[in-house]
Amino acid sequence: MGGDRVDVAAIRQAVDRALAVGPVLPRHQEVEDLIADLRGHLQILLSTVRVTECARATTALAELERGPGRGLRSAADHAQLLALDCRWALRYLTAQEGTR
């Protein structure tokens, strides 16, 4: 799946961290670090998806371009959306690998 560039364990760990954020938010720096990790993972994942063939990939690209917003809550929400995009892309690529 995308060669050595896709670190499935690291992606899953970042996704789990982002989706575990609840009503008590982590420090802003933690959220910023998580966003940076998720953005890097998503960029790698999307580089292996034929974006023009998949509307969901277009949505993920839009989230990458959108950015975290101004406050801590919007940053945490953005991290969760990136995590969902990463989870989708990982599942999509896994399914593609299974059809080859």
Closest to 56 in 3D by CA, of 80, 18, 89: 89
Angstrom distance (rounded) from CA 64 to CA 58:
10
Q: At 82, phi and psi to the nearest 5?
A: -60, -40
Q: What pTM does this model have?
A: 0.87
> What is the pLDDT, as a whole number, of residue 4?
45
Per-residue pLDDT of the chain (100 residues; tens, 9 = 90+): 544 478 899 999 999 999 998 889 999 999 999 999 999 999 999 888 766 667 888 888 888 888 888 899 999 999 999 999 999 999 888 887 765 5
Token output for 68 = 């975290």
> What is the pLDDT, as a whole number, of residue 96?
77
